[in-house]
Structures are given as C-alpha cells and as structure tokens.
Amino acid sequence: MLCSVRRRSCLIVLVLLASVLLISGMEGCSGKPEGKAEPAGAPSQTDPAAPPGAPATGKKVIYRSTMNPGEISDRPGKDSMGMEMERVEVEEGAGPASGAEGRATVEIPTRKQQLIGVRTETVKRIPFVRTIRAVGRVAVDETRFHHVHSKVEGWVEDLHVNATGQRVARGERLLSLYSPEILATQEEYLLALRSRRALGEGALPETVKRADEMVESGRRRLSLYDLTPAQIEALEATGQPSRNVEIYSPASGYVLTRNVSQGEKITPDMNLLDVADLSRVWVIASVYEYELPYVQEGQQATMTLSYLPGKSYSGKVRLIYPVLDAATRSAQVRLEFENRGMDLRPEMYADVELRGEMGTRLAVPESALIASGTRNVVFVAQGNGYFQPREVRPGLRLDDVVEILEGLTEGEMVVTSGNFLIDSESRMKAALEAVAPPKER
C-alpha cells in the first residue's frame, strides 16, 4: 500500500516537470507565453510607424480620477471622492520632444484626425501685401497758399477782386492803393534821378558817386514797397509820380478769403486777400497705429470720391506726421494729388487706399496660431499621426496670415484646423506625464 502511494507521487512530480520544460521551450521560441496578456505598465514593442528619430513608444497604464484629472494612481481603485478611477494608457517617449512648455507631442490616429477635422498647410514664403483703407480730407497745399498784404498804410482806391472764389492769374491786378508814403518815396526817387542827370561831365567823382547812391537807395525803397520793375521803369520814363499803386497777385489760383472792401483804409498788419493755387492739393488721411508699418513716404496711393463713382485719382504719400492722436490712436498721413480738372475741392471727404508691399516673408495661416498669454504655439505635423507643439515668434499680420520670425522653417506642415482639440490632448498628456510615477528600471 505504501509503495503504491509513493509510485503515484513520483508520477505526479514527473508530469509537473515535463509541463514546466514544455512551457519554457515555448517561451524561448516566441519571447512570451502564448495567450498570456502583457502585464499592466509593461512597455510594448517599438512602433514601426513612428517618425524617424522617435524613441520607442512604450505604454504605461495608470488610473485617473474622472472628477480630478490630476489625481492618478498606478493601481485600480477609488479616488478621494469615492468614484471609481478610469484606466488610461500613457505613452512613454511617443515621438519627438515637445517644443513648447506645458505641452507634449501627441499621436492622433488617422480616423480620429478625420473625426475632429484636422487640416494642415505648408509653411512657405509669400508676398506680404496689405491694402490699407482710410478716410481722407482734401486740404489746400500749404506751399501754394499766399497771403496778400500791404507794406504801408493807405486807402483802397479801386478793388479789382471783390468776390471770394474768384479766379486770378499770377500778376493780375488785385487792388489800387493810395499811400502818401509811397507817393513821397516816388518823388524822392525822381529828385535823385534829376540831380544825377544835372551833374555835368566835369563833376567830381565823389559827387557822382553820391548821386548814384541816392538813386539806388530810392529804387531799393520802391522795390521794398512791392513796386514791380515795370512800375519803376514807367516812373522813370514819365517822370511823374503815380498817385495810386497797383498790388498784383503773387500766384495763379482762387481767392479763398477777402478781408478788404472798396475805399477801406488798410494797414500793414491786415491780411487783405488769401490766394491758393488748387492745381495740386493735399489729402490728410488717418491711419491706425497698427497699420503704420505698411505706410512709407513715396508710396503710391489711390483715391475715390463718393460723388464721382467710377473715377479714381493717383497720388503719393509725402509725409507721415510724427504725432499720434491720443483719442483715436491714429496718425495723419499727408498725400499729394494733382487737381488739373478741379474735381478735388478743399474740405471734401475722400476714400483713400494704400497698398503696402513688405516683400516676401515666411508666413502661416492665422488659424494655425494658438495664443496663450505671452506665448504663441503651433502644432507641427511630424508624419505618421504625430503632432509636435512648437513655440513661435510672430511678426506682421495680414487679414488671414501671420509672419513667423522664429520657430518654423520653410516646408514644414502646421495644423490649421482642429488644433485646439490637439492642444487639449497635448496639455492633458503633458500634465499626466508630469505627475506619472517614474518608470521602474
């Protein structure tokens, strides 16, 4: 009886040893027991679809609170609020390192990309052209604006220009002035001429020189009183002083202001008439502060008027005023336009269009940029479903594109649609990786 029991025990031990040897042989061939699941937290094999340069994509299983994502554990159970924690797989070294703090490179399967509407676009250099539209006001060219004054007191004997808006030509008579001072100066000049002519050939050189100086002094005084050379020559030819002296227009243009009437006494401090040449006018346009980088002196400008539809005028930017308007945060820009047809009248409102060309610059669509405080982030498609966050430095902006000064190179692919969902995934992954327990070695 005892021998029978011993034989049965030896038989059982032999069967167990054979089973162990058989299982060990299978593990040596396949690398792991057939049908046996990987333990939680064990790294998986290298993903053959990972982008070049990416490390192995091992996955670690952790458990996260559904109410507080920051509360995680490496074992299943309940969170601090008594809720069952959910099982989450966290990738370890899934792709290239992140280029933005607080975000991690994520892998989005193709099917999921289609569901969230992920779209990408190539980073490239494009011509940076911005069209600036502003409202302008037509103004008189200040370099072609003239005040008419008298240098002496007198009375207006005859007013030739008696209406505002009248057109005058350069050298045209404006008014006739009676001035006792000018009349006395004419008589002194004629006396000096007669004295000079009365000197004979035997006169002393000093006397002749003195007489010549008196004649020249009289002529200079008449010129300073705005008598023209033709008027002085007529005075010399007739030998008779003129009671009335004519004042002529200094330029061709229109009389914009008339402050004198027939028979009125005038003084040197009075502004008698304002004459403006309107064949060229200024347009003062207001450009917002953020648009000033696109405006330069000498730049071409196009202007249209509401009362003349279909007609445009070409001009140039002549000056950008150095001071901003504190209320509107805009700067005045002075443009110059030819006005030969007299369509442009001072105080008109006009629509101005400036085309600012800033050359070729590296740019991305504005939708690709995620602004977060003081940083700007884009997601760069690395291929095979990997998206890397990259911090960039933006520059000038157009309506739908942004210049990139740093952070991207030409030819890279950036996400332009669905990037906010990718950003959420990237932030969540970075947060989980930051609080995940260290991997056992």
Query: Is residue 78, in this structure, part of any structural domain at all?
Result: yes
What is the rounded distance in angstroms from the CA atom of residue 330 to the CA atom of residue 389?
A: 37
H/E stretch holding 431:
helix 419-435
Q: Residue 244 falls within a domain, yes or no?
A: yes
**Distance of alpha carbon 85 from alpha carbon 278, whole angstroms:** 82
pTM for the predicted model, two decimal places: 0.60
CA distances from 274 to 8, 45, 163, 255 (A): 134, 91, 12, 6
Same domain, 89 and 113: no
Taking the C-alpha atoms of residue 53 and residue 351, their distance in angstroms, rounded to an integer, is 56
Residue 295 lies in a domain: no
Whether residue 29 is found in the same domain as residue 45: no
Same domain, 8 and 55: no
Q: What is the pLDDT of residue 58?
A: 56
Q: What is the pLDDT of residues 196-227, one digit of tens each?
A: 888 877 778 888 888 888 889 989 999 888 88
Q: Is residue 315 part of a domain?
A: no
121 and 199 co-located in one domain: no
Domain CATH code at residue 119: 2.40.420.20
pLDDT at 59: 63
Residue 420 token pair:
């906010």
Angstrom distance (rounded) from CA 441 to CA 437: 12
Based on the fold, state whether residues 183 and 234 are members of the same structural domain.
Answer: yes
Residues 216 and 233 in one domain: yes
178 and 249, same domain (yes or no): yes
State how beta strands 386-397 and 167-168 pair. Answer: unpaired
Does 334 map to a domain?
no
DSSP class per residue in 394-428: EEEE-SSEEEEEES--TT-EEEEESHHHHHHHHHH
pLDDT at 329: 93
Tell me: do 430 and 374 sit in the same domain: yes
Residue 231 forms part of a structural domain = yes
Residue 310 resides in a domain: no
The tokens for 65 are: 């609170």
Residue 177 placed within a domain: yes
pLDDT at 430: 83
Domain boundary among 211, 228, 262: 262
Number of domains in the chain: 4
Residue the block writes with tokens 């539209």: 133
Domain boundaries, position 87: 39-95
Instruction: Evaluate whether 224 touches 146 at the Cβ level (below 8 Å).
Output: no
pLDDT of residue 311: 92
Side chain identity at residue 441, one-letter code = R
For the chain, residues with pLDDT lower than 50 are: 1-3, 5, 10-57, 93-96, 441
Write down which residue in 227, 262, 297 finishes a domain: 262
